[in-house]
Copies of this chain bind each other. A is one copy, B any other.
């Protein structure tokens, strides 16, 4: 396989994975493109490379910046903005974990904490099932939450070292 084709494949694969994970395809593709590019790109170059509109690039890049995956670079004497993606995969993973935790897991845990407190007739199977399900899911969610928190704070080699050692 030749390099240009390989790059294309990578962009596609990352785009597909992204869309399966609730990140929109274009956003994932722009990220992939930047990950493959040694230096920063302009809006113009991204538009060109992926055949998408200016408006789309603008919004997508803003999202990537909000996710902490891309940074805007300014160059002395130039008006154009350049976009550069952090290439450290551990940072990327951590950043994604951090954002998703904040956006998705935290709100659900908050609701579950409320629901665990709901009182009811302990003889009623409907109530018993409700209470057990909610309590169990809450516990699971809290475990996931703690694990993510550790991961977010941790150093890569330590993290995988510990995980894979146990699981050996």
A115 and B10: CB pair below 8 A? yes
Q: Which chain B positions have C-beta within 8 A of A56? A: none
B143 and A36: CB pair below 8 A? no
User: Would you call the interface of chain A mostly helix, strand, loop, or mixed?
Assistant: helix
Given known A-B contacts A87-B129, A127-B3, A10 and B134 have beta carbons under 8 A apart: yes
Asked if A35 CB lies within 8 Å of chain B CBs, one says yes
CB distance from A105 to the nearest CB of B (A): 8
Q: In the bound complex, how far is the Cα of B133 from the Cα of A3, in angstroms?
A: 13
Asked if A67 CB lies within 8 Å of chain B CBs, one says no
Q: Which chain B positions have C-beta within 8 A of A118? A: 1-3, 6
Cβ contact of A130, chosen from B3, B22, B111, B115, cutoff 8 A: B3
The digit string for A23-45, where 1 denotes a CB below 8 A from any CB of B, is 00000000000011111000000
Q: Which chain B positions have C-beta within 8 A of A52? A: none
B13 and A125: CB pair below 8 A? no
Number of interface residues of A (CB under 8 A): 56
Q: In the bound complex, how far is the Cα of B167 from the Cα of A3, in angstroms?
A: 41
Q: Which chain B positions have C-beta within 8 A of A20? A: 22, 103-104
A-B contact pairs, 13 of them (CB 8 A): A1-B114, A1-B115, A6-B115, A6-B118, A6-B130, A10-B111, A10-B134, A13-B108, A21-B22, A39-B125, A89-B140, A90-B140, A163-B166
A binding-site residues for B, Cβ under 8 Å: 1-3, 6-7, 9-10, 13, 16-17, 20-22, 35-39, 87-90, 93, 103-104, 108, 111-112, 114-115, 117-118, 120, 125-130, 132-134, 136-137, 139-140, 143, 146-147, 150, 160, 162-164, 166-167
